[in-house]
Amino acid sequence: MDMAKADYHIKYMETEPIQAGLPTAPSRDLINVETYDDYLMMVSPQVHQNIFALEKLQTSFRTKRLETFQKTHTLQRRFHGVAYQLENKLHELSKKIPCYWGRILNISDLNYNNLADANALKYLSDVVVESVPLVSSTLADKTPCLLALYRVHFIFEPNPLMQNTEGIKSVYFKVCGYNNPDMEMLEPEEETDQPILWNPGKDPRVSRPSKKRKGNMPAPKPHVIQSFFHLFDDLKHESEDGEFSQVIESAKEEERKMHFKILMGFINELVDNSISFFDETIPNRAAMTSTYQLDNDMQNMELDDGGSDVSNESSEDDIVEIEEVPQHLQAPPDCTAQ
């Protein structure tokens, strides 16, 4: 703020707006003014009084919206306290339905056609949302706001794939009372409080395709594939160094935004309305063309390159080594009724 504007601000900000008479059409000179100093010379102090009065009113509106959000959040937490027994009943009943959460996620946008995912998600027994009381905070520009924090607990049955039975994610954002859908959740962030620890060879985020080679061809290496369980990657605290660190960090920022969106879906829709997303008519497994089978098919195409001109006679150099799909993925997840 330059000195001219500061002088006007000090002089008029505490003054009540002056009632104007009939509106007059602004002059062409005022519309086409080039500098702020020229503008100050062309308008009366009454204009500045009204501008600052509007700014104060806007702040008052924002404060009221913030108070309303706080009351609504408090009522929601109070409701969950009153409905505690009902929520417990909901969680207990859902645990008695085989592969309840596995089936829900199998038909959602989070199904990445990963058979290892389907096999691991059959052990997901419950998803619990923990709401934390609002905390007073500020934005980076010191604007007053409230900090909202939620924790999402993904609880698994003891199983041969994982070393632990619970993954915990936190999401938080700030609310400042702006009447703008794009500014309802400011500075959104997500963190991994408790990652899922996998037993050797059981991580569904990594493909271990069949090892096939012809002659001196190298065996295919394991590689990262799409998986629901990337949701538990700690993207915030793992920094990158090197030539492409900026590009990698930018990609991780976009992935964190996607994780935040997914977790808010659990908080606002999936957990309280889970039965609406459950469909027992759809099998709880990835499509037959799983990631592993796609890997094998691609390798077969490479090995058979050459078409009908390839001789059917084999030699020692043509031996193809095959490693079967991991034992725990050879059969569909067992979701038979209990």
The residue written with tokens 């207990």 in the block is: 92
User: What range defines the domain where residue 226 resides?
Assistant: 83-303+320-329
Q: Is residue 202 part of a domain?
A: yes
CATH number of the domain within which 179 lies: 3.30.1120.90
Contacts of 246 (CB under 8 A, 6+ apart): none
Q: Is residue 62 part of a domain?
A: no
Residue 302: φ, ψ to 5°: -65, -40
Helix/strand/coil percentages in the chain, nearest 5: 45, 15, 40
CA quadruple 251, 253, 259, 261: dihedral, nearest 10: -110
pLDDT value at residue 136? 86
Kindly state the DSSP code that residue 326 receives in the 8-state scheme. Answer: P
- Amino acid at position 222, single letter: P
Encode 69-90: b = buried (16+ Cβ within 10 Å), e = exposed.
Answer: bbeebeeeeeeeeeeeeebeeb
Q: Is residue 286 part of a domain?
A: yes
pLDDT value at residue 55? 81
Structure tokens at 306: 């050459």
Look at the alpha carbons of 219, 225, 231, 233 in this order and tell me if their dihedral is positive or negative: positive
pLDDT value at residue 225? 86
Q: Residue 194 pairs with which residues in a beta bridge? A: 168
Q: Is residue 3 part of a domain?
A: no
- Count Cβ atoms below 10 Å from residue 103 Cβ, excluding itself: 24
Is the separation of the CB atoms in 325 and 210 below 8 Å?
A: yes
Q: Is residue 32 part of a domain?
A: no
Q: Is residue 311 part of a domain?
A: no
pLDDT value at residue 241? 53
The residue written with tokens 């096999």 in the block is: 119
Per-residue pLDDT tens digits of the chain, which is 338 residues long: 454 554 544 444 444 444 544 445 555 666 777 777 777 777 777 877 888 888 888 778 778 877 877 787 777 777 767 677 888 888 899 988 888 998 888 877 777 778 888 889 999 999 999 988 888 888 888 888 888 899 999 999 999 999 999 999 999 999 887 766 666 788 899 999 999 999 998 999 988 665 555 666 666 677 888 899 999 998 776 655 555 556 667 778 889 899 999 999 999 889 988 888 888 776 544 444 444 444 444 444 444 444 444 444 444 444 444 444 444 444 445 564 33
How many domains does one find in the chain? Answer: 1
Q: Is residue 116 part of a domain?
A: yes
Q: Is residue 155 part of a domain?
A: yes
SS3 222: coil
Helices marked H in the chain = 3-12, 28-31, 36-42, 45-82, 84-95, 100-106, 115-121, 245-265, 291-303
pLDDT value at residue 68? 79
Residue 40: φ, ψ to 5°: -60, -35
Is the separation of the CB atoms in 209 and 296 below 8 Å?
A: yes
Q: Residue 132 pairs with which residues in a beta bridge? A: 149
